[in-house]
Every structure is written in C-alpha cells, then in structure tokens.
C-alpha cells in the first residue's frame, strides 16, 4: 500500500533521478538482459542500441515520480504504453522481473542515497504502477478476446499477398491460418508482428500501422525498407527480402491509441514518408462512410519514386470532398499539384480548416515537430493536433 510517506520519499528522490539521467535506465536494461536474456525475445533490441528505449523509460519513470500524487495527469501516457505492451503480449509475471531489476539498479547506482526508507518507498511505488498496467492491459486483452474474431496471445497468419507500393514501401496482407474471422480495429491502430528471422538469435516483434479499413477477414500492413545494414532495418529488410506469399508470421490483436475520432468536422491528414500508412486506413474508412465534411490529405516524401499510394489517394476524390497536396524534396520535373522542398503550410493555409479542423500527423519526429509548430503559428489549438510516433514515445 502506497502511503503519504512513500509518496513524499519518492518525490524527494526526483533530483537524484535527474542528476543520473538515462544512465539509470541504460544500467537497468544491461542488468536485466544479463540476468534474464529470455526477455530479448520481447524487447526491441534495435531501440536498445539506438538509445531510444532507455531514454523513453527514464522519461516515464521521472514523470511517474513527479506526478505520483496526481496520476490522472498520466492517464494518456498509461493508455499509450499499455496498448504498446499488449502488442508484445506482456504478462503480469514480467512486471516482477522488471521491478526487481529496477530496484537493484537504484541500489547499485546510488548506494548511499538508497536507504531502507527509499527502497521501501520505491518498492511500493513500483507495485502501484505495475498494478495499474496489469489491470489496464488485462482489460484490453479480455476486451479483444471477447469480440468477434478476437483472440489471446499470438495467432498465426499467412501472407496472402505482397505488393510493392513505391521504391521503399511494400504492403503485406495477412490472413489467419485457422481460417477464422479477425477482430476489427480503429483506423490509425497497428498490428504487433512477431518473426524469428533466419540467423537471428532472438525473436523480433515490431508494430506496423494497419494501412486500410478493416474487413473482418484479413489485415494489411505497409512496411518501409530501412537502409541495408542499418541496425533499424533488421525486421523491415527481412520482410522485404525473405517474407513471401505463403509464409507465416505471428500477430497480436490490433492496438494503439492514435485513432481517428469522428467529431463531424473537417479532417486534415498530414504525413511524411512512411507516416502515410495509418493515414490510408483513416482515408479509406472516411471514403467507406462517405464522410460529408472536407478532407485534406497532405504528404511529403523525398521524390516521386518514394510516393506510395498516390493513385489510390487520387481515386478517392470521387467519394470524398478531398483535396490533395504533395511535397517532394527532390522534384524530378514539374508535376501538377506537387510543391518542391519541405512541407510549408503557409502556401496552402487558405485551403486548410485552421479554426475547426482536426489535424492528424505521422512521420519522422523532426517532420512532426516542424509541421506542428507551423500549425500552432497558424492558430490551430494544440488539442486539435494528434500524432503518431513510430518507436518509443516522446513529445512532439
């Protein structure tokens, strides 16, 4: 039971956490993987090598310590993390392992400051946090399993089709091996996909946005090939080079809290690069519903060869009140409707619903920060700007 004394003690350790920084979580992961290497089958080791996951965990721990006496502030973050955890099939017993190594990390890095009172407070604080996640994630698992086409744990799927969409992006359609129905999803959500690439020591689990409207029969994801030899491209290159029609993967039910919210207002979909994948699901869903409000589709990519779904998006103009704006960093020639360089909203501001539209962003972090600042400058309220980040979460 978390007492007021525990809360006061945890908050008093915030300066200690701040002074140590991400070194705490780097040490934690090194320790945990040394003692429990089986968790390398679960955690994305690419994010460990790039430093993204340790930084994200440190920020989460610091936020929890700061708001431990007002956890409602963290509701959104808890739901975002819980959705991600369910795509990895995280189970309650794994929280015990994480908790043990977190406490031992604090003890090893700050032996003088980590008194018995501090340890007792952090054990209680972590126990409260673990209970919150176990409850939220348990509810998500149960809810999905109870729905038509739902399931628990990983389920086997077969590749039904493999379709190149551009120079770098390929779509994969997965149908269940058992021949049953599949659970629906909200446009914007992702699919947790597990594979064991040949030559890899551990399983790889990644989350890929579902790139079309749900149909109850199969799922489609669209994957960008990362640079050959790039540590971030282990899974994407395997999918592009080795996963073919008839091959099998495992998947968890769709998850994610970046979803289209139908407020019956104008909608603006803004994407950079492969960030257009969740936008396809939103756009297809709006077309299926014959959405009556204006829809703006803004996309930026390197050049024409990397422009995925171009023809498909244009084909929806007959079903929606749809305007399309495109930016190429490297324009090969003069093309109608294509702007050169970075996405500059000033050029099209008069066509955007700045006062009442809902704006959805997805793409590289730098791109989203760049676009969000433009939207704020143009007068769009922050609560009307929604975004999805591929990888460990951070603020945009």
Q: Is 275 annotated as a binding residue?
A: yes
d(CA 394, CA 60): 10
d(CA 345, CA 376): 11
Residue 91 and residue 252 in contact, taking contact as beta carbons nearer than 8 Å = no
Q: Is 94 annotated as a binding residue?
A: no
Which helix or strand (DSSP H or E) is residue 139 part of?
helix 116-146
Q: Is 276 annotated as a binding residue?
A: yes
Q: Is 127 annotated as a binding residue?
A: no
Confirm whether 95 is a catalytic residue.
yes
Q: Is 207 annotated as a binding residue?
A: yes
Q: Is 156 annotated as a binding residue?
A: no
Residue 127 and residue 212 in contact, taking contact as beta carbons nearer than 8 Å = no
Considering 26, 29, 64, 95, which one is annotated as catalytic?
95
Q: Is 222 annotated as a binding residue?
A: no
Q: Is 360 annotated as a binding residue?
A: no
Confirm whether 137 is a catalytic residue.
yes
Which helix or strand (DSSP H or E) is residue 333 part of?
none
Q: How many residues does the chain have?
A: 396
Q: What dihedral angle (degrees, nearest 10) is formed by the CA atoms of 34, 44, 254, 278? A: 160
Query: Helix, strand, or coil here: 170?
Result: strand
Give the single-character DSSP code of 363: S
Q: Is 274 annotated as a binding residue?
A: yes
d(CA 73, CA 132): 14
Q: Is 54 annotated as a binding residue?
A: no
Residue 202 and residue 41 in contact, taking contact as beta carbons nearer than 8 Å = yes
Beta bridge partners of 325: 298
Task: For 233-253, give the DSSP string.
Answer: GHHHHHHHHH--TT-EEEEPP
Residue 271 and residue 298 in contact, taking contact as beta carbons nearer than 8 Å = yes
**Which of 329, 302, 298, 312 shows the shortest CA–CA distance to 171?**
312
Residue 210 and residue 255 in contact, taking contact as beta carbons nearer than 8 Å = no
**Which of 280, 286, 148 shows the shortest CA–CA distance to 217?**
148
Considering 137, 226, 250, 388, which one is annotated as catalytic?
137
d(CA 222, CA 162): 9
Q: Is 85 annotated as a binding residue?
A: yes
Residue 259 and residue 187 in contact, taking contact as beta carbons nearer than 8 Å = yes
Q: Is 179 annotated as a binding residue?
A: no
CA atoms within 13 A on the CB side of 331: 15
Q: Is 277 annotated as a binding residue?
A: yes
Binding residues for heme b, by number, are 85
Binding residues for FAD, by number, are 190, 206-209, 389-392
Binding residues, by number, are 85, 190, 206-209, 273-278, 389-392
Binding residues for NADP(+), by number, are 273-278
Catalytically active residues, by annotation = 95, 137
């Amino acid at each position: 039971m978390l007492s007021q004394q525990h809360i006061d003690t945890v908050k008093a350790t915030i300066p200690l956490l701040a002074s140590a920084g991400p070194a705490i979580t780097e040490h934690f992961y090194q320790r945990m993987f040394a003692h429990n290497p089986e968790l390398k089958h679960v955690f994305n080791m690419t994010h460990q090598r790039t430093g993204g996951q340790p930084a994200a965990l440190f920020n989460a721990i610091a936020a929890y310590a700061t708001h431990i006496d007002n956890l409602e502030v963290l509701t959104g973050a808890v739901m975002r993390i819980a959705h991600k955890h369910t795509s990895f099939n995280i189970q309650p017993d794994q929280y015990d392992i994480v908790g043990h190594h977190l406490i031992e990390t604090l003890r090893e890095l700050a032996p003088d400051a980590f008194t018995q009172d501090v340890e007792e407070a952090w054990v209680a604080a972590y126990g409260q946090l673990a209970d919150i996640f176990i409850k939220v994630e348990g509810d998500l698992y149960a809810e999905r399993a109870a729905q038509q086409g739902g399931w628990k744990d990983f389920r086997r799927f077969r590749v039904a089709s493999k379709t190149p969409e551009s120079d770098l992006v390929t779509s994969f359609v997965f149908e269940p091996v058992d021949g049953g129905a599949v659970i629906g999803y909200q446009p914007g959500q992702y699919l947790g996909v597990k594979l064991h690439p040949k030559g890899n020591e551990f399983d790889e689990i990644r989350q890929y946005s579902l790139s079309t409207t749900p149909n109850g029969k199969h799922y489609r994801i669209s994957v960008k090939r990362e640079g050959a030899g790039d540590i971030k491209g282990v899974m994407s290159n395997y999918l592009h080079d080795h996963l073919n029609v008839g091959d099998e993967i495992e998947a968890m039910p769709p998850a994610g809290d970046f979803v289209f919210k139908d407020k019956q207002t104008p909608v603006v979909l803004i994407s950079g690069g492969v960030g257009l994948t969740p936008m396809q699901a939103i756009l297809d869903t709006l077309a299926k519903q014959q959405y009556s409000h204006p829809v703006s589709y803004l996309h930026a990519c390197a050049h024409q060869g990397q422009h995925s779904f171009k023809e498909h998006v244009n084909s929806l103009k007959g079903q929606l009140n749809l305007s399309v704006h495109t930016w190429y960093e490297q324009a090969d020639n003069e093309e109608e409707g294509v702007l050169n360089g970075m996405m500059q909203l000033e050029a099209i501001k008069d066509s955007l619903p700045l006062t009442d539209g809902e704006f959805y962003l997805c793409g590289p972090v730098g791109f989203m920060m760049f676009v969000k600042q433009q939207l704020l400058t143009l007068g769009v309220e922050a609560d009307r700007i929604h975004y999805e980040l591929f990888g460990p979460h951070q603020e945009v």
